[in-house]
Amino acid sequence: MAYVDGFVAAVPDVRKQEFIEHAEIIGKVFIEHGAIECVECWGDEVPEGEITSFPRAVQKKDDETIVFSWVLWPDKATRDAGMKKTIDDPRAQPDVAPMPFDGKRMLIGGFEQIVKS
């Protein structure tokens, strides 16, 4: 079954275009190293929860927007190999493709797909 890497981050509104350009570059790298697809979503309706929420989880500031992203892999073995290749790829290095947001506040997780509707 497929494997998914998921990401949630807060991106400064003024850096939206920079984020898009960064995502396009990194997305191509993931695809070249075995990913099936990469999806980047710019928050539209992301409410602040009373106890927990995406904004609270990433300590969103007033001038930021939540992004929700995922990379779909055919399986975990392909993901493990592809992620290593992506991390080692010169196009993905911080000095070449710096993240246009605070990576310390980003949520990252790997998930085994268990249901597909």
CA 34 – CA 86 distance, rounded (Å): 10
Q: How far is CA 20 from CA 5, 14, 53, 81, 99, in A?
A: 18, 12, 24, 25, 11
Tell me the pLDDT tens digit for each residue of 76-99.
999 999 999 999 999 999 888 889
Q: For residue 66, what are the β-bridge partners?
A: 10
Q: How far is CA 56 from CA 12, 36, 39, 47, 65, in A?
A: 15, 30, 22, 10, 12
Q: What angle, rounded to 10 degrees, do the helices at 76-88 and 16-32 form?
A: 120
Give the pLDDT confidence score for residue 1 in this predicted structure.
Answer: 87
Tell me the pLDDT tens digit for each residue of 26-70.
999 999 999 999 999 999 999 999 999 999 999 999 999 999 999
pTM of the model: 0.93
